[in-house]
Amino acid sequence: MTKSTDNAVTVRNVYKNYGSTEALRDLSLDFPRGQLTSLLGPSGCGKTTLLKIIAGLLPATSGEILVNGEVVKAPGPDRAFVFQDFALMPWASVIRNVAFGLELRGVAKSEREGIAQKYINEVGLTGFEHSFPHELSGGMRQRVGLARALSVDAQVLLMDEPFSAVDEQTRRKFQEDLLGLVKNENKTFIFVTHSIEEAVYVSDQIAILLPRPSRVMEIIRPSGFRHKDVDSIRREPEYLDIVDRIWASLRSYVE
């Protein structure tokens, strides 16, 4: 395999300007296939901007995004997005929300609801198919958002601070489930977070971004504890070291 196909997504020399403000400057980053890469940094460092450029929701001022070696400029079936605020349609039931990506692709109703049902079961929402988003807790809503992204079977999952709007215990459960997903789904995950612990806990690769203008400061690849049990990761010396190291380098950027 050549180097370009080892990476599911490649960001090459991307610049993004808002008027005269430079949001991203000459940013290049590789996202290895089948792994989870976190974009971590203080607020205003452009991590969500970068994620939306990869998703094709925002145009880059210059530079390229390659997915499976091909330049992309718009959203495509190879990528699916999980939103920070869930972005569920409040007028639609859980099953219709989950099947919405397939509905837009013109998949027949019975077929898409079959697929949706499978992922509803997978994220643990069996029995809530016909509930409406306002009847669910924040954590359950994000499970709907996750099931929707999984059901279109995209190779790349883009997650924009997906757990920041749920409570701490739900968040921990989500992080454990995410590790299972990365292991079993054979997809590439790009995960935006502002939590150092979360990034170190779930990531194969952590890209630390610095603000104004945003650039990659450092790439860290935790290696020692990836295969360990989900319960013991937080006690690993390497985990604790990396968390400390990242905090040491970020603390000067936090007001």
Partner 1 sequence: MTLFGYKLPNMSSLILWGILWEIVGQIELTFFLPPLSDIFATLIEIGGTTPFINALKETALAFSIGTLSAICIGIPVGILMGKNQLIDELLLPWVNLFLSAPLTALVPVLMVLFGFGLKSIVITTALFAIWIIVLNSRAGVRQINQSLVEMSKSFGASQLDALTKIYFWAALPEILSGVRIGFIRAVKGVIIGQLLISIVGFGSLFELYASNFLMSHFWAVLIVLFALSFIIAEFLAYLERRVDYYASRR
Q: In what order do the strands lie in the sheet with 70-71?
A: 21-32, 7-18, 62-67, 70-71
In whole angstroms, how close is the CB of 255 to partner 1 at the nearest point? 27
* Binding residue (CB under 8 A) for partner 1 from 14, 125, 146, 152: 152
Name 165's bridge partners: none
In whole angstroms, how close is the CB of 134 to partner 1 at the nearest point? 5
Is the CB of 158 or the CB of 199 nearer to partner 1? 158
In whole angstroms, how close is the CB of 104 to partner 1 at the nearest point? 5
Alpha carbons 131 and 129: distance in angstroms, whole number: 6
Residues 1-60 interacting with partner 1 (rule: CB under 8 A) = 52, 55-57
Kindly compute the dihedral angle of the four CA atoms of residues 82, 83, 86, 90, in this order, to the nearest 10 degrees.
-100
* DSSP assignment string, 146-175: HHHHHHTT-SEEEEESTTTTS-HHHHHHHH
SS3 content of the chain, % helix, strand, coil (to 5): 40, 25, 35
**Under rule CB under 8 A, residue 90 binds partner 1:** yes
In whole angstroms, how close is the CB of 202 to partner 1 at the nearest point? 22
Which segment (30-38, 97-105, 117-125, 161-169) binds partner 1 by CB under 8 A?
A: 97-105
* Binding residue (CB under 8 A) for partner 1 from 76, 138, 139, 213: 76
Residues 104-133 interacting with partner 1 (rule: CB under 8 A) = 104-105, 132-133
> For residue 142, what is the DSSP state?
H
b (16+ CB within 10 A) / e for 131-140: ebbeebeebb
C-alpha separations of 100 from 87, 149, 190 in Å: 12, 10, 22
User: Mask of contacts with partner 1, 182-211, x by CB under 8 A?
Assistant: ------------------------------
Alpha carbons 27 and 181: distance in angstroms, whole number: 28
Is the CB of 71 or the CB of 89 nearer to partner 1? 89
Which segment (83-91, 117-125, 190-198, 244-252) binds partner 1 by CB under 8 A?
A: 83-91
In whole angstroms, how close is the CB of 35 to partner 1 at the nearest point? 22
Alpha carbons 36 and 206: distance in angstroms, whole number: 9
**Under rule CB under 8 A, residue 83 binds partner 1:** yes
**Under rule CB under 8 A, residue 84 binds partner 1:** yes
Q: Which residues bind partner 1 (CB under 8 A)?
A: 52, 55-57, 75-77, 79-81, 83-85, 87, 89-91, 100-101, 103-105, 132-134, 148, 152
